[in-house]
Structure 1
Amino acid sequence: MTSGNTSCQGANMTVWETAMNQLYTYVYLIIFIPGLLCNTLALWVLCRFISKKTKAIIFMINLTIADLTHVLSLPLRIHYYIHLDWPFGNALCMLCFYLKYLNMYASIAFLVCISIQRCLFLLRPFRAKNWKSRYDVCISIAVWIVVGLCCSPFILMRSTPSSENNSTSCFKDLPMRKLNLRTAVSMMVAAELLGFLGPLIIIGFCTYLIVNSFRQRNQKQQSTGNTIKALRMVRVCTGVFLFCFAPYHINFLLYLMVTQDIITNCAARQAIKQFHPISLCIASLNCCLNPLIYYFMTTEFKQQLSQHGSSVLRGRLMSMESTSSFRE
């Protein structure tokens, strides 16, 4: 433990450690059920009942898969924060740790893809007609590869416990490796530019272009439903992006500086450490918020969910009626 960490340890941080475990437990419990149900239903509808694989449907499917990978790991996280014991081995611990960041940055990447495609198809409608769904598939594969590689430093920075007493530690209790200043600064800049500021600029620019197109068409009285839907879609993507990921990335830069003892003021260190788990919990909420994009912003999703949901209900009612009449 570094001198900075030792001098700043106190009763307040010990109390906060206990509160932080409870925070993770309650937030993950709240997220798990609605996240699992909403994303499973969304994936079922998107994959099975929407034959028109345009309007960012492929990207929405990948966004749902990214959310499900994190949601399915939550029971293991909940077990750890309740019992403070990890009996599942270091490999599974690092996998669950990795999936959290993979979900975060894959979600950011696919929100960017959705915003760009809706903007491009609105401004260049002829390109939308000639666009093939396999292009979106290739882009999605490239996104997974790039994001998967870029998230690897998050687990490489963590040290697996070597002593038997600490072999049951996981997640936040894994020690952080000490990096040299150049490596630490490089990681800070790359994470902030590629993972937050770059996507924020792109989504903001797409929103500006769509708003500008909307105003021009309104002046010419040529505004269409597609323009309104595209504007609504990009605005919701921007809202989810800012609400879920801005707090974490604003704090991430400071948190990494604390772990590397660049920030030594005790009050600042404690404030940054205390906000870090809160920002991570807020980021995890994207698993529940992303399905709102599919339902409220995609006409096909609502239509198919309504049609097939009602048909399934009618089928079950008819089977119940036939069973009851047979018994009579």
Structure 2
Amino acid sequence: MNYCYVTSNNRCVIYHKTFECPISSTPACTDSTFTHNRNWALRERGTLRGNLDGAAYTSLFLLGFLVNAAAMYAFIARQGPRTDTHVYMFNLVIADSALILFLPFRIYDAFFCLKICGLCTFLISLHYINMYASILTTTAISVHCYLAVRFPLQARSWRKKKQAAIFVCLVIWGFLVSISVGFRDNFESRNLWMCYERFPCSALPANSVILIMSLGYLAPLLIIVFCSSQIIFTLFKTDEKTEEMKSTVAIVTANIIVFIVCYTPFHVAILVKYFHSDCLCLHENPDQTYLAVSEWLAATNCCFDAISYYFLLKRFYTQTIQSGGISIMQDSSL
């Protein structure tokens, strides 16, 4: 059953009264405490926190829309043959653009609160599918650049590179969609107290946390760090260190930093919520605020992707980089 809670500014907030706080080993999580915290949260959603969330995601939407629209236009307006590089970049833009285009729902929820229903489950699933599609595509781009630098002659002779890139992108989307089906129960209406938030006392199951941390964060992070470090090491081995080479090293390093800064806090928050879900039942606990801020920070990565990887790939394929006296590749397609 839905109930209407009237906030201090006369906004009617719809919520479910179907949740019983789970029994825990600590006295913090009780029915009366939960009712108090839920009412506190609803007031916050209608006033301070809602306004802050709405302002943060509005600024992200405006900036992300402009950046990704420009990137999309560059791909559509560009003349000439499409390469495997363009396939990866286009897939990255698709993932980031899809995340951006559905942010207005989150903005509306921050200011006014969406009714908790099946739409919320769809929006949450779509948000995380696009976020992890961006992570996995970024990982694929790192491997792509590493192979081009580490094995230049073989990379030039490989056939069907474009078809391989398309296959990799399709596998990424297929894998994430199939995983989201398994995660669907975690974001059903009965498990939500806000459209984009699970109940504070309810942590994700252990198998879900392990899957997210291993395949969604740790594996991509290790691959990106390895490939990027090998790229930098290979470039520094050359006798001639040009300004273009130094710029490439700077871009590669910046991409690692951006990935770590954007995604590490969010995945740390997932672990904190899993190990301290009882504590999150208390609204005074800062962990809930940290989770919300880290999730916004992870979403900001969609503004950096198109810019950083465009310049990175442009460096690789429009400049002649010398590695051990061998010209890696020269491609004027970007």
TM-score by length of 2: 0.74
Q: How far apart are the structure 2 equivalents of 1:197 and 1:206? A: 14
Partner residue, 1:307: none
Please show how residues 112-131 of structure 1 align to structure 2 within 5 Å: 112-131=139-158
8 Å CA contact 1:35, 1:71 repeated in 2: yes
CA drift of 1:169 comes to 5.2
How many residue pairs get aligned? The number is: 286
8 Å CA contact 2:84, 2:163 repeated in 1: no
Distance 1:224 1:118, change over 3 A: farther
Structure 1, unaligned runs of 5 or more: 304-328
Q: How far apart are the structure 1 equivalents of 2:309 and 2:195? A: 34
**CA distances 1:257-301 after superposition (whole Å, capped 9, x unpaired):** 344x4x68969x822212100001101111212122145334389
**CA distances 1:77-124 after superposition (whole Å, capped 9, x unpaired):** 2122211233xx833322211121112211110111111111110111
Is it true that 1:5 corresponds to 2:29 in the alignment? Answer: yes
8 Å CA contact 1:55, 1:118 repeated in 2: no
Secondary structure of the residue aligned to 1:270 is: coil
Please show how residues 81-230 of structure 1 align to structure 2 within 5 Å: 81-86=110-115, 90-131=117-158, 132-161=161-190, 170-172=195-197, 174-175=198-199, 184-217=205-238, 221-223=239-241, 228=246
| Structure having the larger proportion of residues in strand | 2
Partner residue, 2:58: 29
TM-score by length of 1: 0.75
Distance 1:51 1:294, change over 3 A: farther
Secondary structure of the residue aligned to 1:151 is: helix
Q: What residue identity is the alignment partner of 1:171? A: Y
Q: What residue identity is the alignment partner of 1:279? A: S
8 Å CA contact 1:47, 1:61 repeated in 2: no
8 Å CA contact 1:116, 1:206 repeated in 2: yes
Picking from 258, 276, 280, the partner of 1:240 is: 258
Percentage of pairs with the same residue = 25
**CA distances 1:131-154 after superposition (whole Å, capped 9, x unpaired):** 421111111001111122233444
Please show how residues 69-84 of structure 1 align to structure 2 within 5 Å: 69-84=98-113
Secondary structure of the residue aligned to 1:157 is: helix
Distance 1:96 1:159, change over 3 A: closer
8 Å CA contact 1:203, 1:234 repeated in 2: no
Distance 1:197 1:108, change over 3 A: same
8 Å CA contact 2:244, 2:315 repeated in 1: no
Partner residue, 1:324: none
Structure 2, unaligned runs of 5 or more: 1-20, 319-334
CA drift of 1:248 comes to 0.1
Q: What residue identity is the alignment partner of 2:139? A: V
Q: What residue identity is the alignment partner of 2:154? A: R
Picking from 212, 231, 239, the partner of 2:249 is: 231
